[in-house]
Copies of this chain bind each other. A is one copy, B any other.
């Protein structure tokens, strides 16, 4: 079998995803007006949401973190978080757009994470886990740092499930011999559609009894 190449997206697309994560983090932190988070705190949470997923992916894989060794990630995350802080009212109106773009982003991070894991020789099931962790890591880091209940564990709108389903589809397609690129496209498509339908129709997992 040919070696599996990780799915990559152009740097500008990756940085756009990083910016979107930082923007969301800053908007999220901006809602805590009672807790006296200062400007630095907002920027740090933006960076955490934007880079947390990639960091977690590379820690799980034992690889040097791409977002540290690349020149642009931290810079783009910090600047976008500052922008988000300054233009909070503007961006708050764009909430539906942000949710839609975020759905694409978790799909992209899931595809990058799962395919990088496969390329390094990680077997199928843990590769799905790495993909899902890469997709949701930023949100977990945000909640732990802000001392909030981790949203992901509670009844919600199929955030992690959508990411895991997409990553699982990618792993199955690659195992069946499909090209990584199209498997990644399918992964992003499935994650995006599941997530958006879940938000639209308020789907959620059954609570434990």
Contacts and interface: CB of A to CB of B under 8 A. Distances in A.
Interface in A29-67: 29-30, 33, 35-42, 44-45, 47, 55, 58-65, 67
A122 B68 contact: yes
Nearest to A121: B69
A30 B123 CA distance: 30
A74 B36 contact: no
B39 A205 contact: yes
A154 B206 contact: no
Interface of A: 29-30, 33, 35-42, 44-45, 47, 55, 58-65, 67-71, 73-75, 78, 85, 117, 121-126, 129-130, 140, 144-150, 152-156, 160-161, 204-208
17 contacts: A29-B208, A35-B149, A35-B154, A38-B154, A38-B155, A38-B204, A38-B205, A38-B207, A39-B207, A39-B208, A59-B59, A68-B129, A74-B125, A74-B129, A140-B145, A146-B150, A146-B153
Given A74-B126, A144-B145, A63 B62 contact: yes
Contacts of A73: 126
A52 to B, nearest CB: 12
Nearest to A75: B125
Contacts of A74: 125-126, 129
